[in-house]
Every structure is written in structure tokens, then in C-alpha cells.
Structure 1
Amino acid sequence: MKKKKMDDQHFDKTIKGRLENFEGPDFDPTALADLRYRLASITTAPWYARYRTELIVISALLFFTLFNVLWQSQVEVNREQSFIQVMDSLKTSQRIIIDLQQRLSALRRITSDSSNASSKPMTPMAEGKLNEVDNLLSQLLEEKGNNDPSVIALLGQVSEFLRSEPGMNGDQSPPATPLSLLPSATYHFPLPASSDSARISLDQVTLKENGGTAEAKEKHLTAAMARELKKHFQKGVGIRLGPAASLSAITYSPGPRVPSVGGGLMSDWILSPSLSMETGIIYAPRFYDREGSTMMELQNLPGVDESLGSLKEVDITSQVVQFPLNLKLYVPLSRRTEGVLGGGYSFLLYLRQDLEYGYQFNDDFDGRFQGLKSTYEQAKPRFYPGTLNLSAGTSTLLKNDARLEFSLYYQYGLGDSGLEQVKANSFGLRTAYWFTIR
């Protein structure tokens, strides 16, 4: 009890001594006025100030997408209609050629069956069939022109037949043979003015004899036929333009795995129906944080102040822009859907980096550890080693001649990047909405 009383007396004596030795500062009226002025001049930054750049980019993307959708809805897209018109023209020419081939076969059969008959003048039936062939040839010449390879080949067959068959010189009397009794055959129609002929066989056209006229019924185009048509009618380099968005997981080495969302404006240069070159600009911010015992290699970061205490954590926000350059290969899956395989390289530009440090120090007054934060900003743009890109997905043709593309992609970092000097690999999903410009 006596010892406790002495401790209390010692404590009271210590407090009394400190209070007696304490000298308060002189009151300064100007200091209070200055404090009030400073408090009035302090403005609280709104919550969106930190994400101003991201919001501007997202707003621009939304505006561009909305503008293009409205523009596409107002402008009539004629590309699909031109394909339909071309197919109608091809089918019409195909029907004429098939009819001519059948009539030539009928005439050959007539002359073959009557090759041993006595010489007689040409009957009205044979003369009528020749007139039908002549009319069909005239119609074909008017539609296709005399330089078309299919017309030249057919005219050669007719000329050879007229020269070689004695029945066409008035020697034979051809019997009547219905065209419906002729054997079916498969003919091929080469596309005009093309080094690679797209063959359209009769298994894609259904013929029906109705009053001597062959009528065709359209079947669905195969993926190969659609590609051949695109290849034939493509003039120069095609251009697609549209917004793109990505959702990925970035793995830092060393460091954690964090999610990331990006978006930008892309262009696709169509070199051929099976090959294109993709480029554009993608804004993809990166977030990197380290804490605890893994901070030793980050002691040399700019802005670290050891006088504030021991460094315990760091959060780095990087504003990163990518400039991809990818080569894409298209594999037809159906008439409107294609598989897409891509590979290329992305340039990395760091626009700005914001570093936030967390320190811990021992408060001598109460003996407890306290936390303190400081910030550092690197606002000078700088290029870093880029990434190797690989992707695989599908591209679907929509009714308005636009395309919707989904793909899985992987980006492999080719070097250390950022002030933190770490390698970043990412894997995720990307989508793009392509508007056909040309």
C-alpha cells in the first residue's frame, strides 16, 4: 500500500512539473484569421475527379457507338442487296446455260438415233429446236456479253455440233424427244473475269419442267460459295471501324493477379476474304499493389521517403494506352459466321502513373504504431516493351451489314514495364462491333 501511494505521488509530481513548465503560445489574432482563410480556400474534390480520364474515355466510346448505330439505322446498306442481285443474275445465267446444254443433248440424241435414216429435209421440229437454241444464245449474249468464258465455251460447243452432226444439214428427220426424258447432268458455271472460278453445280439448283421453261429454286449458299463471291467482287482493301471492349485478368511477375477493363476504337483492314490487318487504340488502365514482406524490391521507387517510417504498402495506378497491330485469319463456319484466329504485337504507352505509399512509424508519446500515406505522380508519357498477342474467336454478320466479334485473347509481356519494373501477362475476353465503311 505504501509503494502504491509513492507511485501516485511520483505521478502527480511529474504531471505538476510538466504543467508548471508549460508555456502557452502567445495569442495571435492574425493566425486565427489566416486559419479561417485557409479553411475557406480548401475545396473538396468530387468523387469522380480521380477517375476523370476513365470517364472521358468511356463517354467518348458510348457517344461514338450511339452515333454509329443511329447512322447505320438511317443509311441503307446495299452490300447484302448487291450479293442477292449478283446471285439472281448468276442463277438466271445458270438456268439459260443448263437449258442450252439440255437442248444440245436432245439434238445430239435426235441425230444419233436417226443417223441411219434416209436423207430428208429438216423437219419443223428440228428447225424449232434450233430456233430455241438460237434465241437462248441471243438472250445469254445480251446479258453476259461475248467475252464471257462460259458463253465462249457454249458457242464453241454449238459450232462444233453444227459442223459435225449431219442431221443439222438437212440430212435427217429428227424425231420428237421430250426434254423431260433426257438424263440429268452436272454442269459448272465459271464466274466471269476471275482467275479462280467459283463452280455452282446443279445440286444447288432444283430444276422443274413447266411448259418448256426451266425454273430454279434457290438453296442456301454454302460458306465456300459465299467466300468465293466475296473474293470475286471485292475491289481493293475493305475497311471496318468500330468500338472494342475487353475484360481480362492481369498477372504480374512478381506480384498479384488483378482484373482490368479496357476499351477503345479499332479498325480492320480487309486484305482478302480470309485475311485482315487490325489496328487501333485501346485504353486499358493497370492497378498494381504490394504490401507486407514483399516490399524489399520496391524500395527504389521514386517518391519513397524513409524519414516517414518503414514502407509497408504501395498502390500504383497506371494510365496505359495500347496500340495493337494484329494479323487475323478468317475460317468460314457458315454463311454468316466465321472463325477468327489472330496474332500480333501491341505497343505500350504509359501516359501517367500515380503512386501511393503507406508507411508505419512508432509514436514515442504512447508507444503505438501509426500509419501515414504519401503520394507521387509520374506524368511524363513513356513507351515500354509491348506484348505478344494471340486470339481465337468468331465473327458474325448481322442484318445491317455490321459484324459482331467475340474472342478469347492472351497477351504475353515481352519485358518489364512501368516504374515498378514488373512483367505483366493478361488473359481475357474481347468483343468488337464492326461497321463496314468500305
Structure 2
Amino acid sequence: MDDHQFDKRIKDKAEHYQDTGADEAGALAGLHAKLAGFTYVPWYVRYQKTIGYTAAVLCISLLNFGVFSYLQNQHDETLQSTQHALKDQQMAYDSLKLAFETLKETKTDTVYIVNTIEIPAANGQAIASTDGEQSIYFSTIYRPTTPFLSGNGYHSLGIRQLSEVRTEPLKVKMASQKEKVKKKSSQRVPAKVLRAIEKHNMQGIGFQYGPTLRGFQLLTDEVAGDPGWAAGMMAEFILSPAWSIETGIQYANSSYELDDAPLLGENVAGYPGIDDALGELEQIEQTTHALIVPVHLKYHHPISKNRYLFASAGISPHYYALQRFEYEYEDELNATEAESSIKTDKGSWYPGTYDLNLGFEQKLNNKSLLQFSVFYNHAIQPMGVEGRTLRMIGLNSAFKFRVK
């Protein structure tokens, strides 16, 4: 359409315009009223049931996979332990056989002497003596006539008197070697070596899971909340000796109490079910029951063979299954007090919190491990029907089973 055609259409519309006499102001007001009736619904609210079912199926699948892997691993561990035992026995047998063959073919050529020893001859002179440093000296007059001595060594088994002298320093030498081995084993192994050993033993992606329990202190912008707790099942997919992904599901119970409700100011409008007819609002108590689905990236740093330090970061989407609000009012005019309560059990998903964790891990003998950590969570956006920005700080513990 060129400019000439466009001008012609505008001109025709203007010439054929007829005033209907309708109330345009009323129509505009009606349009505004209609638009006010619409509310914005976040995307995750529309799919909250689907997300909930998906999370439940995922957690059940993780649990089933963990149980199956654990039972399969138990069978593999029995087989591996039997193979290791047979291998150890074979190595011990080969070592003993080698030692026996060596002893059978080797002649003793060294005598160890701790103190000065003199072997009297018929004429009262000594045949041999030592200087205390395991060196033997012979009298020159007896050197040709001592067939049981060869150089600086003991040759014949017929002289039983020297057996005690020969074995005592050997015991001291063996004890010294044990001390050296013990001292070397107590030295710290570098983290790089420990990771190399674990990487060598890994077969694909590792897996461990187990129950977790944590306690925390809830914080809001206006007041510190009550102590809360959470418990659930967590699983780790081990990508390498240093990195893993942790996820699972937890049930959490938290609450807070606001003794001076007027501090909320205009924010009090976000609290449901407030009845101004009962008097002036003085106190608010809130309790939340929620499901949490953490997703964390975790880094491990070995400090010994069985001890690790770890740090993790991630997010934890929250599903608010139930919220309960209790209010206390005071009517100064009539000198009365009143209470009211309301609960909202229409579940809602929220993006949840940013999470940071620092902790310690101890491996146990039965392929299980203990984890302890401190954590800090901060809400990504306001949560709950009242729209509060929450923070949590606390301690977390977990007992996990390594199944792969």
C-alpha cells in the first residue's frame, strides 16, 4: 500500500464517521475495571502440580536406584573381598617361598657383636674382640688356626656360644626399621596423590545417599525467627574425586513471631485473614510446613586418606504445603483482647534460596561416611503468602552409604 492509497482510506473513514452518542468515559472505566480483575500468575504456579509429581517420582527413583546399587555392591564386595584374600595368601606364600630359597642358598657371613667378647685360648690370649661398632679383630697368632672364623664373619654352626651375640643386634636392627616405617606412614600424603588413588579406583560416576538432619535459625527483615529443623534424604552423584552433584528432598518446619505488628507498616497488608473489627493488631505468629529440593555443586579437598573438607553452593526450590497464621488484637476502647487464626493449604512453589555450605567428612570402615557442615541460605525472592524475604543459618549432618 502506497502513501496515496493510505491517505484515501483515512479520508473515507473520516467522511463516513457517525457519532453514536455512547458514553466513552463509562466504557473506559469499564475497561479499567475489567483489567483490574486480572491478576498476574507466575509461570511456576500453573505447573506446580506437575513439578510436585515430577519431584516425587525423581526422589522415589533415586531411592530405588540407591537400594538396588547398595544390594548389588554388597554382592560385589563379597566377591572382591574373597579375591583379595586369595591374592594376599598367594603373595604371602610366594614371599615365604622366596625367603626359604634365599636362606637355603645363602651362607651366613656376618656376626653382630654388641659388647667386647673374648674367646680365651689355651694359653690365655684372646682370639677375637670388637670395638663396639660391629667390627671384629682377630689375634694374628690365631688367624691361621681359627677354622670357624672367616674374615670378619662367623662361618660354622658348631659354635653355639655366639648365637646370643649374633641375634641380639639383629633384633635391634629390626626394631629400628619398624620405627622408620611407622614414622614414614604417619607422614601426611599430599592431596594430589590421594586424588590420584581415588581416581584410579573409580569406575564411572560414583553414587552415595543417606538421611540428613539439620537445625537452623530463621531470620526476617523485622525479627529473628524461632529455631527450625529439616530432615530428608540426600543423594550425591560423584563426577570425580574433587567434584560431585548433590540433590534430594527434605521436609522443613519453620516459624517466627512478631510481637510488634505495627513495625510491618504497609507490609501488614500481605498477611491473610486480618480482622480489624477485633481491634488493633498487636502480634503475629507464623508457621510454615515446606518441602525443599536442594541442588548443589560440591567440591571435596582431602586432608588424609579418610577425611575431607568440602564446600558446596546451589539453590533450593521450596514448595509451601501449609502456612498457619495466628493474630492477637487489643481493643483499648473496650479493654479487651482477641485472637484469630487462618491457614493456607493451597500449595505453592517458590524459587527458594541461594545456599552456601562448608563442612567436614569422615569415611568409615563399612563404606559409609559422616558429614557435618554449617550453612547459610538466603531467599531468591519473597516467599509465602505474606511475601517475606527469609534467611537461614544453621548446622547440617548426614550419614551416607557409598554404593558405587
TM-score range, shorter chain: 0.5 to 0.7
The Cα of 1:340 is off from its aligned counterpart by 0.6
* Alignment match of 2:346 (pick from 351, 376, 380): 380
Moved over 4 A (4+): 79-86, 216-221
Shift of 1:342: 0.8
Match of 1:361 in 2: 331
User: Structure 1 residues 318 and 343 mapped into 2: Cα distance closer, same or farther (>3 Å)?
Assistant: same
Aligned to 1:323: 293
1:95-134 to 2 correspondence within 5 Å?
none
* 1:106-160 Cα deviation digits (max 9, x unpaired): xxxxxxxxxxxxxxxxxxxxxxxxxxxxxxxxxxxxxxxxxxxxxxxxxxxxxxx
Secondary structure (helix, strand or coil) at the match of 2:287 reads strand
Residues 222 and 263 in structure 2, CA contact (< 8 A), matched pair in contact too: no
**Contact 1:80-1:401 at 8 Å conserved across structures:** no
Is 1:413 the counterpart of 2:383 in the alignment? no
The structure 1 residue matched to 2:237, chosen from 231, 254, 269, is: 269
Matched, 1:280 2:248: yes
Q: Which residue of 1 aligns with 2:210?
A: 242
Residue type at the aligned position of 1:294: L
Report the CA distance between 1:389 and its aligned residue.
Answer: 0.9
Per-residue deviation, residues 69-93 of structure 1 (Å, max 9, x unmatched):
xx99xx688399769949x88xx7x
Can you list the C-alpha shifts for 1:152-207, whole angstroms capped at 9, x where unaligned?
xxxxxxxxxxxxxxxxxxxxxxxxxxxxxxxxxxxxxxxxxxxxxxxxxxxxxxxx
Shift of 1:423: 0.8
Determine which structure has greater relative contact order: mean sequence separation of CA pairs < 8 Å that are 6+ residues apart, divided by chain length.
2
Q: TM-score, normalised by structure 1?
A: 0.50
The residue aligned with 1:402 is 368
Deviation, structure 1 residue 377: 1.1
Give the whole-Å Cα distance in 2 for the aligned partners of 1:343 and 1:83. Answer: 41
Question: 1:15-414 residue pairs with structure 2 within 5 A?
Answer: 78=77, 85=84, 219=185, 222=189, 224-292=192-260, 293-296=262-265, 297-362=267-332, 364=334, 369-414=335-380
Q: Give yes or no for contact 1:295–1:312 (8 Å, CA) kept in 2.
A: no
SS at match of 2:239: strand
| % identical equivalent positions | 27
Give distance in 2, aligned partners of 1:383 and 1:398: 38
Cα deviation for residue 406 of structure 1 reads: 0.7
CA distance in 2 between counterparts of 1:328 and 1:417 reads 26
Structure 1 position 426 matched with structure 2 position 392: yes
Classify 1:357/1:394 alpha carbon distance in 2 versus 1 (closer, same or farther; 3 Å). Answer: same
Indicate conservation of the 8 Å contact 1:77/1:400, yes or no: no
Question: How far did 1:393 drift?
Answer: 1.1
Give 1:255 shift: 2.7
CA contact (8 A) 1:281 1:323 kept: yes
Matched letter for residue 418 of structure 1: G
Contact 1:403/1:435 (CA < 8 Å) preserved in 2?
A: yes
Query: Where does structure 1 lack aligned partners over 5 or more consecutive residues?
Result: 1-63, 100-207, 210-215
Aligned residue type for 1:78: E
Residues 329 and 83 of structure 1: is their aligned pair in 2 closer, same or farther, counting only changes over 3 Å? farther
Residues 362-408 of structure 1 show CA distances to partners (whole Å, capped at 9, x for unaligned) of: 575xxxx1111111110011012311111111111101110101111
- Using the TM superposition, give the Cα deviation of residue 336 of structure 1 relative to its aligned residue in structure 2, in angstroms: 0.5
SS of the residue 1:253 aligns to: coil
Q: Distance in 2 between matches of 1:304 and 1:408?
A: 37
Q: Tell me how far 1:263 sits from its aligned partner.
A: 1.1
Alpha carbons of 1:429 and 1:300: their partners in 2 closer, same or farther (altered >3 Å)?
closer
Q: Structure 1 residues 77 and 408, CA, compared in 2 at 3 Å: closer, same or farther?
A: farther
Q: Counterpart amino acid of 2:297? A: L
After superposition, the CA RMSD in angstroms is: 3.8
Tell me the TM-score normalized by structure 2: 0.54
Q: Counterpart of 1:239 in 2: which secondary structure?
A: strand
Residues 298 and 236 from structure 1, CA distance in 2 versus in 1: closer, same or farther, beyond 3 angstroms?
A: same
Question: Deviation string for 1:284-314 (max 9, x for gaps)?
Answer: 2120221323243214422111112221111
- SS of equivalent to 2:200: helix
Deviating more after overlay: 226-235 vs 275-284: 226-235
| Counterpart contact for 2:357–2:376, Cα < 8 Å | yes
Instruction: Say how many residue pairs are matched.
Output: 247
SS across alignment from 2:384: coil
Deviation, structure 1 residue 264: 0.9
3-state SS in 2 of match to 1:285: strand
Please report how far the alpha carbon of residue 258 of structure 1 lies from its aligned counterpart in structure 2 after TM superposition.
2.8
Deviations 1:346-366 (A, max 9, x none): 1111111011111122575xx
CA contact (8 A) 2:249 2:292 kept: yes
Residues 80, 390 of structure 1: alpha-carbon distance in 2 compared, 3 angstrom cutoff? farther
Distance 2:204 2:343 in 1: 48
In 2, Cα distance between the equivalents of 1:341 and 1:358? Answer: 43
1:246/1:263 contact within 8 Å kept: yes
